[in-house]
A = this chain, B = another copy of it.
Amino acid sequence: MQVTSRFTIGIHTVLCIGYFSDRLKVTSEFIAKSTNANPVVIRRILGQLKKAGLVSIKAGVGGASLSKNTDDITLYDIFKAVDAEENEMFSFHSNPNCKCPVGKNLHTVLNNHLISIEDAMISEMKKTNITTLLNETNSYL
């Protein structure tokens, strides 16, 4: 299992905006330079963050800013925006044998446990917000 780099790029993007947008115009080009990712990839991620209500973007003139207080943006908000739009986290293999008592009930039996695992991850993601990460970034300067 690998969480896509969209997650860390998404976090990086939000941090850049939080860190610089009061002083500079933070464009996709700017973020691409900081992350070392392609500007179009950044624009796609910015689009997802915008759709999730986390950032707003000035069309035409360009530049992104945060739409919410840095206290109110958690890692889960970013994760949900860029990495979990509609897919389930766990994938079942298709058509297990319904004549087998194990195969027949696997999905039902497993589902609640898998949801608990996902919930545990989500709870932990919600504990970290952008304010914390910006403070930690400043502490390393």
Q: A residues engaging B (CB < 8 A)? A: 1-5, 7-9, 11-12, 15-16, 19-20, 33-37, 75, 79, 83-84, 87-97, 100-106, 108-110, 113, 116-117, 119-121, 123-125, 127-128, 133, 136-137, 140-141
Contact = CB atoms under 8 A, between A and B. Distances in A.
With most chain B CB atoms within 10 A of its CB, the pick from A1, A9, A121, A137 is A1
Contact of A102 (B16, B102, B109): B16
A138 B5 CA distance: 41
Main secondary structure of the interface of A (DSSP, over half): helix
Contact of A103 (B12, B90, B94, B127): B12
Contacts of A108: 140
B8 A90 contact: yes
